[in-house]
Amino acid sequence: MSADENRYAQFLTKKEAWKKEGGAGDFNIFVSYSTNDSAKIQPLVNQISTIRGVNIFFAERSIMPGSLVNQTIIKKIEDADIFLVFFSESAVESNYVQQEIGAAKSRNKYVIPILLDSTKPTGMLEGVNYLNFHDPTKQLAEMNRLYQFIVRNVQSKKQGQALKFLGLLAIGYLLLKSD
């Protein structure tokens, strides 16, 4: 286990981890990154995937052989509740990452930049509040902020879905009763 994996594992043992309970989940997170940063971000992606109800699109694991890559990526961005972009010098130089950011912004997705090095977000992400994983003294606190933010949003989405369902039941009841 690498130092990063150990740090994130320690974080989860100190928190109440919302473990997945089978099922497909209903909160979608798109992860945008440079393949040069895969090893750095894998431990974080693994920890986020432990949150109950979360589906993560991580291209290296999620795109099936023979799939149309561009169509798959666009569909997953459209379906995403949150768009995480791991920002680094490699990400700035990656055409895919830049196109994914553009696609997410044009679809009004909630974008969270996560700094992996000293490269700050520019262009479409300038001024967007980011998480600083580059500074080792801030990593644990930033992980906690991200984790709690995702958990709150998963809960909020589930509550909204439950209210919609109850509303549909009430309408159905009223329609049946009016006959």
Please tell me the total count of domains within the chain: 1
Whole-model pTM: value is 0.74
What CATH number corresponds to the domain at position 154?
3.40.50.10140
pLDDT tens series, the chain, 179 aa:
555 555 544 444 443 333 333 334 478 999 999 999 999 999 888 888 888 888 998 877 776 777 777 888 999 999 999 999 999 999 999 999 999 999 999 999 999 999 999 998 888 888 888 999 999 899 888 888 888 888 887 777 776 666 767 777 777 767 777 76
C-alpha R_g of the chain: 18
Position 154, amino acid: V
DSSP for 61-109 reads HHSPTT--HHHHHHHHHHH-SEEEEEESHHHHH-HHHHHHHHHHHHTT-
> Which domain range does residue 98 map to?
3-178
